Structure 1
């Protein structure tokens, strides 16, 4: 029964992927998705870190910075263990050809870009809530872009977002407890 449900969910996930990733996508969408995806590579995180260091109160920044470090220290091992354990083959390697980006590894679940973006967006929201919509629109854009460029299924980015957000909340709780 459970196996049957998982098989049906995988089929729905494949169909959703195929409805997003296709040759009919306009060039502006492909280029935008590639650019948005690259903002989740890590360079933007460093720029945010430096920017908030420059413009924030010292104590507030230290808690923010420590929360980011703890968030990634929790998220990265979970991400790597899940990726190796689940070992879901990327859609660009089994369902379609011609992803718009070359993935850094061969497995897709969970999406590391989505997890990282949601760690950052969630922690930014907890420290700078006035810009919550900006943080989460960006993180959702990074996640969606991974499907548009052909390297993840929708479920991969949803699971990544849940992992990232959960790790961020836990990190902020840990930092506040210290």
Structure 2
């Protein structure tokens, strides 16, 4: 099997999984939950959370959280923008289905910026608050999946976004947090 045929097969599987998850007949509660998760990944929550931890925590280690998240985004954003423009993958709502439940902020889908950001923040928060790690990653997965349910990303977009975000979060932790 050639590389081209493997990529074609993966793309077909990705499209089929998208069509399974994005469904015009989805229950109202699923669309509402997806909109809520997606909104929570828009960015304002990250700023609020970092400011709150910095302001309210007396733990010296927790004071490193805002700088770690900031550095994580300084690393992640250029990677995200370069990948987005390099891959230039058309969004499913522009090539596979007639419309999405939300209007995307740009025309390309790979990688998912919401997924990258959510997993970056979940990775860093899980380091500082390990007892809540499962909750942070469940939230990040909800943000990522919401982007498919809402019709603006293929499943591969969110998987690659999650990998980018998690990697950048780990990188930031290694650079900021003393061992």
| TM-score above 0.5, yes or no | yes
Deviations 1:59-90 (A, max 9, x none): 32331111101100000000000000000000
In structure 2, the residue matched to 1:100 is 101
In structure 2, the residue matched to 1:23 is 24
* Cα drift, residue 20 of structure 1: 0.6
Measured in 2, the distance between the counterparts of 1:129 and 1:55 equals 18
In structure 2, the residue matched to 1:49 is 50
Gaps of 5+ in 1: none
Question: How do 1:1-178 residues align onto structure 2 when only pairs under 5 Å count?
Answer: 1-57=2-58, 59-176=60-177
* Cα drift, residue 171 of structure 1: 0.5
* Cα drift, residue 54 of structure 1: 3.0
DSSP 3-state at the match of 2:41? coil
Length-normalised TM-score, structure 1 = 0.96
Q: Runs in 1 of length 4+ with deviation above 6 angstroms?
A: none
Q: Number of residue pairs matched?
A: 178
Measured in 1, the distance between the counterparts of 2:11 and 2:120 equals 26
Q: What is the alpha-carbon root mean square deviation over aligned residues?
A: 1.3
Measured in 2, the distance between the counterparts of 1:28 and 1:138 equals 17
Measured in 1, the distance between the counterparts of 2:136 and 2:22 equals 25
